[in-house]
Amino acid sequence: MKKQGYSRIANRLLIGTASLFPTLQMIAPAGAYAAETIVSDEIIVTATRRSETLQNVPMSIHVMTAETLQRQAATTFADYATSVPNLTFGTSGEGTTNSRTIAIRGIGDRNTTGFYIDETPVPESLDPRVVDVSRIEVLRGPQGTLYGGRSMGGTVRLVSAQPDTGEMSGRVHAGIADTHGADRPSYQFDAMINLPLVEDKVAVRMVGVHQYDAGFIKREFGPEGSTTTVDNVARTRTNGASIAMLFKPTEDLSLTPRVLYQETQMNGYPFTDLILPDSGPVVLEPTSLTQRRQFDVPEASRDKWLLATFDIKLQRDFGTFTSASSYFHRRSRDIDDQTDFIAAAFGIPPIPTSVEVRNKRNNFIQEIRFASSFGGPFEFVSGLYYAHNKGNFIYPPNYVPGLDAAFEAANGFPLGTELVYVTKTPVKQVEKAAYTEATYEITPQLSAIAGLRAFHVRTTSSKTSDGLANGGLSVVPEKSSSESGVTPKFSLQYKFADDNQVFATAAKGFRPGGVNALIPASFGCLDELAALGLSNESVQSFKSDSVWSYEAGIKSRAFDRKLTLNATAFRIDWSSIQQLVRLQCGFGFRGNAGKAKSEGVEIEATLRPAEGLSLDAAFGYTDAKFTETMLTTRRAKGDRVPEIAKYTASFAASYDFPLSGAIDGFIYGDYRYIGKSTSGNNANTDPVTGTLVPRIRPSYEIMNVRGGVRFGNYEIAAYVKNLTDERASLSDNVAAAVEAPGRARVYINTPRSIGIEARVTF
């Protein structure tokens, strides 16, 4: 296995295993979770919209409990995602705040994987660090019945810890770390408190976090022999809070309002530079932590979001009624250095300049459902879903002072303006759906499951653009597209003993379509469209794509439940694929073209051979390839689906042991392997074959260790993240302007981080 680097966001991890608060955790007392997940060895999940033990759900699910996340010192998405077999991730958007995409079982691109906080779907690019989470559930395979669109490959669910009306509890955590390449330490402080206000009736749970991740990138600028270096580039500050209340006016009725808020600011990007070869395949293998520039042009990003939810649950003897209402508000901005692009595009000497891109989003979602508990052979879950999502993708006016004069000096005539680009693209999407999933127990061992979801989606958009890069002013009036459809699911489950079963499932998943913005006439864009046999009129909209998935699995326990072994094999057929067609002029559009097939397996095993000792192993294999050659996307039959690693694997060992008196020790270590994959973000076209020249993301390996002591309500631990100081290639970046000629910018993980942390619970 070739060494390359390691998990991207392990970077924020430097936080010194920053409490499991950030991105998911804010864990309750470690001992409480240890008792739940190790002593009783039962993990309860709600993936099927009802509470069931993990081993009894006929589905391939990877679960990380709060206790597991604490052992991993997980603070961001990448900290836990690299341990999940057949889950990979990359970037496909401008900058950093909206760029991450998640792929499960070979189905990768924007909006192919559902990402949930409790009952609410949120953008998959979100990296919450303020969520008081009790567990994370990764559902593999299409979840089109219960979770709807954007869950074609699977769904990631962050399940929050709930307020407790029974007793007061709390936690305080602090950590500090040193990261290779940084000139100062990173640190984090977070706290949680749960307060019963009226015994057994009202409680409030509050969480807060402040996290500082020192930058490990340096920017070097100026002429050779007289350069200046800026340290602490890609420094990240995160502040967040959450507050939740639980009202129980009766034993059967609960009302839970919750507000989550997070703001993250970066003074640059964790990107390394690569000089591109003149021809042939491009290997995105990062090495240096220095960005070499002609001028000191600061880059930055800012991401603010708020999620307000209100859940109502009414329990009756025959079932549970649930109402889930949510409002999601997000504002983000990224600023890129575009000096080299402007010089190359207009044929002028370099002028220090930057470009900004902004994203706005406001989502309202309402879901009402009923989950039966008849106690007989027939049970079902039925619901109604409504989503009203509004977004606006904006390039504020991008003026380059001095451009007109420089162009006239170089070409003999002026441009007449220094406005390079400005655009606004408001989008509104309304989705309505009704669904049912029913289970019938044919015999005490054999059950049949069938589900159906009917949906209707309407998308409306317009666009106004201007500037030299747009070829002047253009206005696309508001236009709409709509479609309806049905996603079915069929499954059989056979339980041949307690905690032992085999299952088989056929299911369909889909991703909603949408509308495209107008392709400008500048830089030869319209000529490129014509060469593909297309025009602005023919690419005005794109439709939904879909998958049919077929899988069979086994879940088993043996040796007095000391060994758990689960395995699943699958095949997925993907058709009418939504693909982003990037033109060489720097613009692009989404279209439906071609088919792909993904086949593979995932195997997970847990062995507990002795008290306090746990060994975990996971393996994933995914072979995802296009099955048609497509001129418009320049994909050839047999090409691998971008972002998908063929092999993923992880191994972990943890040991808890008594030291003396009331002091206990613990040690944890893990190894993770992510196989090589490809990126199509900025891939060029082979002039001979007309197909994309692959950009290869090399395989990488990650090793982490953590150990410490517990005494009373206190815990002190030390850790090393990215022990071997790997440099993982997490994709080439999609620039807010256009990739600078001859240079790729590659998103990398955090280098080796060494830290200590302390935690007290009460």
What is the H or E stretch that residue 77 is in? helix 77-81
| Residue 49, C-beta contacts closer than 8 angstroms, at least 6 positions apart | 146, 369, 371, 381, 383, 437
* Whole-number pLDDT of residue 453: 97
> Taking the alpha carbons of 722, 723, 727, 728 in that order, is the dihedral positive or negative?
negative
Helix or strand or coil: residue 751?
A: coil
Read off the pTM: 0.90
The CA distance from 516 to 493, in Å, is 43
Sheet holding 113-117, edge to edge: 61-65, 133-140, 154-160, 113-117, 120-121
Host H or E run for residue 510: strand 500-511
3-state DSSP assignment of residue 468:
helix
Q: How far is CA 81 from each of CA 9, 78, 672, 727, rounded to the nearest angstrom?
A: 10, 5, 10, 17
Contacts of 730 (CB under 8 A, 6+ apart): 7, 8, 89, 90, 91, 697, 746, 747, 748, 749
C-alpha distances in Å from residue 598, one per residue of 92, 261, 553, 625, 644: 21, 38, 16, 7, 10
Mean residue pLDDT across the chain: 89
* Helices 339-346 + 403-411 axis angle, to 10: 30
Show Cβ contacts of residue 67 under 8 Å, excluding neighbours closer than 6 positions.
Answer: 27, 30, 33, 34, 36, 37, 38
What tokens does 386 get? 């409504």
Distance CA 19, CA 28 (A): 11
- Angstrom distances, CA of residue 482 to CA of 170, 460, 610: 49, 9, 58
Taking the alpha carbons of 521, 525, 526, 527 in that order, is the dihedral positive or negative? positive
Q: Which amino acid is at 80?
A: Y
Predicted confidence (pLDDT) per residue in 600-625, tens digit: 999 999 999 999 999 999 999 999 99
Work out whether the CA dihedral 572, 573, 577, 579 comes out positive or negative.
positive
Supply the DSSP string of 533-560, one letter for each residue: T--TTTTSEE--EEEEEEEEEEEEEETT
35: its two tokens: 């008792």
How far apart (Å, rounded) are the C-alpha atoms in residues 49 and 249? 24
Does domain 8-761 bear CATH number 2.40.170.20?
yes
The angle subtended at Cα 488 by Cα 485 and Cα 493, nearest 5°, is 170
Q: How far apart are CA 40 and CA 397, in angstroms?
A: 60
- Residue 122 per-residue DSSP state: -
d(CA 431, CA 453): 12
Three-state DSSP state, 79:
helix
d(CA 260, CA 238): 13
Look at residues 211, 215, 214 and name the one whose alpha carbon lies nearest to residue 238: 211
Select from 208, 170, 214 the least CA-distant residue to 190.
Answer: 208
The whole-angstrom separation of Cα 121 and Cα 148 is 10
Q: How confident is the model over 68-84, as pLDDT tens digits?
A: 999 999 888 989 999 99
C-alpha neighbours within 13 Å on the C-beta side of residue 651: 4
In the chain, domain spans: 8-761
| Integer Cα distance of 703 and 656 in angstroms | 20
**What distance in Å separates the CA atoms of residue 17 and residue 14, rounded to the nearest whole number?**
6
Quickly list DSSP for 145-212: TTT-TT-SSEEEEEEEPPP-SS--EEEEEEEEEEETT-SS-EEEEEEEEEEEEETTTEEEEEEEEEEE
Residue 369 has which token pair? Answer: 């459902």
Query: SS3 for 451?
Result: strand
φ, ψ at 668 (rounded to 5°): -140, 145
Is the separation of the CB atoms in 574 and 642 below 8 Å?
no
Specify the pLDDT at position 41.
Answer: 63
Contacts 24+ apart (CB under 8 A), 401-404: 401/351, 401/353, 402/351, 403/342, 403/346, 403/348, 403/351
SS3 at position 36? helix
**Cα separation of 622 and 354, whole Å?**
40
- The pLDDT value recorded for residue 36 is 33
Is residue 127 within 8 Å of 60, Cβ to Cβ?
no
Q: Which regions of the chain are under pLDDT 50?
A: 1-40
Quick one: residue 225, left, alpha or beta (phi over 0 = left, psi -120 to 50 = alpha)? left
What is the Cα–Cα distance from 652 to 83, expressed in whole angstroms?
9
